[in-house]
Amino acid sequence: MPYYRSVGEVPRKRHTQFRQPDGSLYAEELMGQEGFSSDSSLLYHRHAPTAIVAAEEFTPPAYTRVPNLPLKPRHLRTHKLDGAGADPILGRRYLLANDDVRIAYVLADRPSPLYRNATGDECLYVEAGTLRVESTFGVLDAVAGDYVIIPTSTVHRLVPTGDSPTRLLAVEANGHIGPPKRYLSVRGQFLEHAPYCERDVRGPDAPLLVDDTDVEVLVRHRRGWTRHVYAHHPFDVVGWDGHMYPWAFSIHDFEPITGRIHQPPPVHQTFQGPNFVICSFVPRKVDYHPDAIPVPYNHHNVDSDEMLFYTGGNYEARRGSGIEQGSISLHPSGFTHGPQPGAAERSIGVDFFDELAVMVDTFRPLDLCDAATECEDDGYAWTWARRP
């Protein structure tokens, strides 16, 4: 994240003696990306963050991936996956995946175990409810409409809060997720044309000190999963500083970019990841050319699959296709897609769209996972032909 923060107690100079009240040294930990050549943070622990007392292989809930065959557009109704409560990590139902990214949905009503994803960053979108993110960096509270970015290898726990379960869309990258590079200066500051800036970003603002022993942490890594038992709780950090930490940004703070005629999806881009982008479609004034057609034109993105998660309002281009709150549409490369029949004509003269949606465009094909088959609307592909 291109925003320096310092939280809690840190010494004046890095990599120097920093002593606890009893005279012993705090244990310094550098978390950094790309082998000491990119963003990093320095954390100061009461105990050695390397002290594990046990390690064993862990078997997570299984899911399968199959190609999108036959090739066709898909409509997934995520709310059909509602069932018994789950935790926000092990309870995720995987919908779509490729070798760059996994997309899952969960209705969570209980805290997760302590977890470290050592394969990549995660972007969580809170569809409904509230969420408390506890980590070695402190606490970050999230509400409906918030994106939460959790950097690779951050030990954290997700705790649903409030009176009702929390609905989450989870985007798990095999790499790093951050603001698009075109929004940033060479020194990492948001530029004037960016649709959000540092004032819109929230991070932990105080340490979260937990004093406990023999603490289990589930680790997802490049070879599988492992359960580590740490001699002391990882949340023993008294202070940290740097550019790498969990952070939140509300979709409601995304400032839409509009024009006289229809603007293409790159104006909605919010984050970039390895071979994918995440975009935000928010309520906005639309095209003001006298002959404008505000809904999208038919388009065939020859290099990407398009996944759209509908999370509020009324998406004009999909009206009449069964799209509802929590729906996901998948329009794959190799298929020309566009507005539903009649949508273009209906949109003429409309000057405001009241819609809220999260889009993930991938540059490798997305496979279908078990949960996608479970909640698919089988009639969606034929709605352009007005077939039942």
Distance CA 176, CA 82 (A): 30
The residue count for the chain: 388
Contact yes or no for 135/208 (Cβ under 8 A): yes
Distance CA 128, CA 306 (A): 23
Contact yes or no for 253/200 (Cβ under 8 A): yes
Alpha-carbon torsion 180, 181, 187, 190, what sign? negative
The Cα-based distances of 85 to 20, 25, 159, 166, 173 in angstroms read: 42, 43, 13, 10, 25
Which among 154, 156, 158 is positioned nearest to 43, based on CA atoms? 154
Distance CA 377, CA 374 (A): 9
Q: What is the DSSP letter of 374?
A: H
Which among 175, 132, 169 is positioned nearest to 147, based on CA atoms? 169
Distance CA 268, CA 383 (A): 26
Residue 337, annotated as binding a ligand: yes
The residue type of 317 is A
Cα atoms found within 13 Å of the Cα of residue 147, Cβ hemisphere only:
27
Identify the bridge partners of residue 251 per DSSP, sorted by sequence position.
none
For residue 375, what are its two tokens? 């909640």
Residue 315, annotated as binding a ligand: yes
Distance CA 246, CA 241 (A): 12
Catalytic annotation present for 47 = no
Contact yes or no for 127/79 (Cβ under 8 A): no
Distance CA 229, CA 250 (A): 35
Contact yes or no for 46/232 (Cβ under 8 A): yes
CB-count burial class (<10 Å; 0-12, 13-18, 19+) for 243: middle
Which residues contribute to the annotated binding site? Answer: 299, 305, 315, 337
Which residues contribute to the annotated binding site for Fe cation? Answer: 299, 305, 337
Which active-site residues does the annotation give? 262
Which residues contribute to the annotated binding site for homogentisate? Answer: 315
